[in-house]
Amino acid sequence: MAARDADRAFQEAAALHGQGRLADAERLYREALVAEPGHAGALCYLGFLIAQQGRLDDGAALLRQSIERNPGAAEAHNHLGALLQQQGRLREAVVCHEQAIALVPNYPDARLNLAAAQQALGRPLEAIGGLRQLLADHPDFAAAQFNLGLALDAVGRRDEAIAHFRKAAALDPGLAARLAGMLDPPGVGPRPSASERPPDPALQQPDAAAMQRMNQFMSAFLTNRDNPRMTMYPGLTVQAVHDPAQFPAVRALEAAFDDIRREIATLAKAAFHPEAEGLDGTAGWDVLLLYERGRKNIENCALCPVITNIIESHATVRSLAGLMYVSKTNPGTHIKPHLGPTNVRLRCHLGIKIPDGDCGLRADDQRLRWTEGRCIVFDDHLEHESWNFTAEPRIVLIIDLWHPDLTPPEIALLEGLHRYAAYQGMSLQRYWSRNAAARNKARANYD
């Protein structure tokens, strides 16, 4: 009798779960577990539901119990893998998804999740192969078309990526909205071939003002001793706050706000870490880095595909001069006045969760306040500070944009210099790593 009661409660709970009535579903899953404490299905679905609510550790514990009760349940392995991806535990996630596929080879969701984990681990070719195999069996799987587009784009196969983005948009109107701006407007027709496209703006001849700035910047390398990092670029307008509407990236962020807010809401607390810039008053400041000084955090970007797509589709500073991250300041946090390191960028804040009360930002002499779903763009090389003297956390998404005075040739010059500096730094790091044994042996001779 208890087993039948448990099965009945489980079936009712699963139906409510599918309708989005999570509180009622959770109550019935728990009733099923009272009737039969080891009910594998109730353990699996309750774990999945709790993970949906952001309680990832509790959800993982229930999913593992479900697998212990029924090791052959592919669904529990897949849900556990998806949860581990949210926690950034990507290699463990891959194992779970592979186990699910071993149990049920034609399991579309497990194959999709496996490809996402491989992509996040920096293994895009494996992801591409798996997604092509998935789409051979399920060509109308919109999410697989979309993810294949992302994976192809990551390896520079832009034309192929666009073709799969188009298929995804045709299959799922929700994806069509997310892809706005990446695809050609209706009626324009297919993208031109490489030979038909206009030349790369970065290769165009700079205008007179840009050439003068570039010459001043390059000649400063001959005499500069006080600031050898050359972080200041000559001739750029100094303005504390800029009109957000002039930046295409801002328009894309604001248009995708609902999706962005959902992505950030699903991030686990463990994914954030304390800010490490060494500024005063940052004890309550936590961040989740997406891009840091030219380095892409693949695992975090995989958790935020909408945000990452906007970052990578617009003129954002993905070089040594830029940062992209989710920023959370806890109640009582005051980030003291400080200066950014360079004038070549502007900082964009998209308000995600802004509590009522004394919570704001000062840029130079202007006091500002965030609005959820809207962007603020300011020059962070001027003195600025922020505070949250409310009872709730404040969350914003931060991306860096190139200063609007910079022309494409100037941006290309700066990106090239930043790539060179990053390469030199990595080469030196590799040299010291390779020669660790020799250094230790030499040091021993002096001990």
Tens-digit pLDDT profile for residues 98-111: 999 999 888 888 89
What's the pLDDT score for residue 343? Answer: 92
Total H helices, total E strands in the chain:
18, 12
Q: Which of 223, 412, 397 is nearest to 315 (CA)?
A: 412
What's the pLDDT score for residue 182? Answer: 53
For the chain, residues classed under CATH 1.25.40.10 are: 2-145
For the chain, residues classed under CATH 2.60.120.330 are: 232-402
Chain centre to alpha carbon of residue 47: 25
The DSSP secondary structure of 162-209, one letter per residue, reads HHHHHHHHHH-HHHHHHTTTTSPPTTS-SPPPTTTSPPPGGGSPP-HH
Q: Beta partners for 296?
A: 291
CATH number for region 232-402: 2.60.120.330
d(CA 394, CA 244): 21
pTM, entire model: 0.53
Token pair 């494409």 is found at 408
Q: Which of 13, 55, 15 is nearest to 30 (CA)?
A: 13
The bridge status of strand 366-368 relative to strand 394-402 is unpaired
What's the pLDDT score for residue 179? Answer: 61
Estimate the share of the chain in helix, then strand, then coil, as percent rounded to the nearest 5.
55, 15, 30
Helix (H, G, I), strand (E, B) or coil at 363: strand
CB 64 within 8 A of CB 57: no
What's the pLDDT score for residue 359? Answer: 94
What's the pLDDT score for residue 279? Answer: 52
Q: What is the mean pLDDT of each run of 10 residues along the chain (447 residues)?
A: 72 76 82 83 83 80 88 88 82 90 88 86 86 89 85 82 85 63 43 41 66 82 62 88 92 92 86 66 79 85 90 87 92 90 94 95 94 95 92 95 90 79 49 42 35
What's the pLDDT score for residue 431? Answer: 41
Sheet holding 384-388, edge to edge: 333-338, 384-388, 359-363, 366-368
CATH 3.40.50.1370 fits 2-145, yes or no: no
Classify burial at 6, counting beta carbons within 10 Å of its beta carbon; exposed 0-12, middle 13-18, buried 19 or more: buried
Helix (H, G, I), strand (E, B) or coil at 58: helix
CB 378 within 8 A of CB 384: yes
Chain centre to alpha carbon of residue 241: 26
Tens-digit pLDDT profile for residues 346-371: 999 999 999 999 999 999 999 999 99
Enclosing H/E stretch for 256:
none
